[in-house]
Structure 1
């Protein structure tokens, strides 16, 4: 199968308006579409990510009786969180056949307009949920023409105060017990290509690598535990090999930190350094301040110095 474009990242929340306000205010996203579709059990909004190349952030909330999103929230203790990654493929039927050969049973969605499945090795648990659609079919989240409106809902205005100054959605990170095993799987399944990795002993509690998704400006990071008390091991024990965090690049570090202070949003695990004479910084925002998604922010003085762009051949080719 082939993924030729990551379309969006979607999160589920019980309070759509509050989450959209957070994303418009602190994050500086811009709502471009809203919809209310009780027939498919979903209200939603699509927001443009500054600097993104066609990728968006979508917020989904339950609508009507018997909504699967209500069930999802109930199963997660009512907590909001990342729901799926939306992607486009050239041939949806071919993708379904390929997944079934690999032991993955996709779910048909919205009258066959899209497929939903974890693309991780099935023997390791649910992994990250993907929602896949073919060309020429834009409805993936209940946002059909009959239920959607291009203008923001009435009563929304310009965000109050400074935003983070995001310039790109850089990558999505997945935790997994073995980074090379998952990288090999994604390479064989969908053509992901490794472009960077840390040395095995660079960090005491983790090792990672970064995969390029052909045709997309978004990369995919895989982190795995090392040592006796790794935070990744605790993450895997709690929820399995799912999405760990989402990373955005900011244009001005001091301005981003000032925006966090203005919006009373604390950060943690701040780090900074220098590579080849160019500075970089990064930090995290806890899921309780973002609507259920761990967010990483980074700034780099020169492109490629935070996560080195040096191409490192994978050991399995």
Structure 2
């Protein structure tokens, strides 16, 4: 079902303040930014080997990322695993009784299909499944 770790999501209060660290100090390849209005978030991606780092900046006070930062501070928000068929992965997990946040895919950054597994199902880790846009 899983093909690789696609990215680690890191909640930050400001992309403009966070980007230089990853790009300039760590030397990661900056791949640009995107806004996902539905989730009230702006994202910046960095390539590191086969995986990415995704910085998440809230665009409004009701954003899940704004709420995460208010409760936990900036830091690791989620781990995202790539799958070939998100609909099938969700069907399998639901049939096995795994607690889900999303039962159907939604659109993430760069047109990727995404869905989240509830952290209570995965040892306290918010887990994202993603299927790349083709």
TM bracket, shorter-chain basis: 0.7 to 0.9
In the aligned structure 2, how far is the partner of 1:293 from the partner of 1:272? 20
Which protein is richer in helix relative to its size? Answer: 2
Structure 1 residue 212, shift from structure 2 partner: 1.3
Q: Which has the larger radius of gyration?
A: 1
In the aligned structure 2, how far is the partner of 1:225 from the partner of 1:210? 15
In the alignment, structure 1 residue 197 sits paired with structure 2 residue 30: no
Alignment correspondent of 1:178: 14
Extract unaligned runs of 5+ from structure 2. Answer: none
Aligned length: 129
In the aligned structure 1, how far is the partner of 2:123 from the partner of 2:90? 19
Is the CA contact 2:10–2:54 (under 8 Å) kept in the aligned structure 1?
Answer: yes
Structure 1 residue 257, shift from structure 2 partner: 1.8
Which deviations, in whole Å up to 9, do the C-alpha atoms of 1:138-183 show, x marking residues without a partner?
xxxxxxxxxxxxxxxxxxxxxxxxxxx0111100010010012111
Extract unaligned runs of 5+ from structure 1. Answer: 1-164, 274-278, 303-317
SS in 1 for 2:23: helix
In the aligned structure 2, how far is the partner of 1:245 from the partner of 1:223? 10
Alignment correspondent of 2:72: 239
Alignment correspondent of 1:223: 56
- For residue 206 of structure 1, the aligned residue among 41, 51, 54 is 41
TM-score normalised to the size of structure 1?
0.38
Is the CA contact 1:210–1:219 (under 8 Å) kept in the aligned structure 2?
Answer: yes
Alignment correspondent of 1:260: 93
Which protein is richer in strand relative to its size? Answer: 2
SS in 2 for 1:198: strand
SS in 2 for 1:219: strand
- For residue 293 of structure 1, the aligned residue among 108, 116, 125 is 125
Structure 1 residue 301, shift from structure 2 partner: 5.5
SS in 1 for 2:80: strand
SS in 1 for 2:37: coil
Is the CA contact 1:223–1:232 (under 8 Å) kept in the aligned structure 2?
Answer: yes
In the aligned structure 1, how far is the partner of 2:15 from the partner of 2:58? 9
Is the CA contact 1:175–1:222 (under 8 Å) kept in the aligned structure 2?
Answer: yes
For CA contacts below 8 A with separation 6 or more, give which structure has more relative contact order.
2
Is the CA contact 1:206–1:225 (under 8 Å) kept in the aligned structure 2?
Answer: yes
Please list every run of at least 4 consecutive aligned residues from structure 1 whose deviation after the TM superposition is greater than 6 angstroms: none
